[in-house]
């Protein structure tokens, strides 16, 4: 994961926290309910935390084994999130596009992290 990708993840987290309805609206579907906006904010905080951990993995003072462990753990969290979004897409047809879009974003972050393991 490069610094630019860490910043991208952080920006995504900030967007989810600051304007969850607008971000969810990008995928179409019904207007975001209060509950959906709250969940999006929680997921935004997770994205920010994961950006911080990913940034730490890039630090020059971290060892190869620690870098690999942090990137692997981050990828695992992203894959689990993608699976939960696939579940959302299956059980909530009006939010299918949003679930699939967020799941694909999570898989892209996971793939990037795994590709950058030492």
Query: Which is nearest to 11 in space by CA: 49, 43, 48?
Result: 48
More confident residue, 58 or 52: 52
Q: Long-range contacts of range 53-56, CB-CB < 8 Å, 24 or more positions apart?
A: 54/1, 54/5, 54/6, 54/9, 54/113, 55/3, 55/6
pLDDT reading at 11 higher than 70: yes
11 three-state secondary structure: helix
Domain that holds residue 91: 3-115
Contact 98/29 with Cβ under 8 angstroms?
yes
pLDDT tens digits, one per residue of 13-51: 999 999 999 999 998 878 889 999 999 999 999 999 999
Does the pTM exceed 0.85? yes
Total number of domains constituting the chain: 1
Which two tokens mark 101?
């879009």
Amino acid 117: pLDDT: 87
Find the helix packing angle between 96-115 and 64-91, rounded to 10°.
Answer: 160
Three-point CA angle 53, 58, 61, nearest 5°: 105
For the chain, the residue count is: 118
59-91 pLDDT per residue, tens: 899 999 999 999 999 999 999 999 999 999 999
User: What is the rounded CA–CA span in Å between residue 15 and residue 21?
Assistant: 10
Give the pLDDT of residue 1: 59
Q: What is the mean pLDDT of residues 4-16?
A: 94
pLDDT at 95: 87
Neighbours of 53 (CB within 10 A): 14
For the stretch 94-117, pLDDT in tens is 889 989 999 999 999 999 999 988
């Amino acid at each position: 994961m490069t610094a630019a990708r860490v910043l991208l993840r952080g920006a995504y987290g900030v967007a989810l926290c600051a304007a969850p309805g607008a971000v969810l609206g990008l995928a179409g579907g019904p207007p975001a309910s209060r509950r959906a906006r709250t969940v999006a904010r929680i997921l935004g905080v997770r994205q920010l935390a994961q950006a911080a951990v990913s940034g730490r993995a890039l630090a020059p003072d971290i060892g190869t084994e620690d870098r690999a462990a942090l990137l692997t753990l981050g990828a695992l969290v992203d894959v689990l999130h993608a699976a939960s979004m696939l579940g959302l897409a299956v059980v909530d047809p009006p939010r299918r596009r949003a679930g699939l879009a967020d799941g694909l974003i999570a898989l892209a972050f996971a793939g990037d992290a795994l590709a950058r393991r030492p």
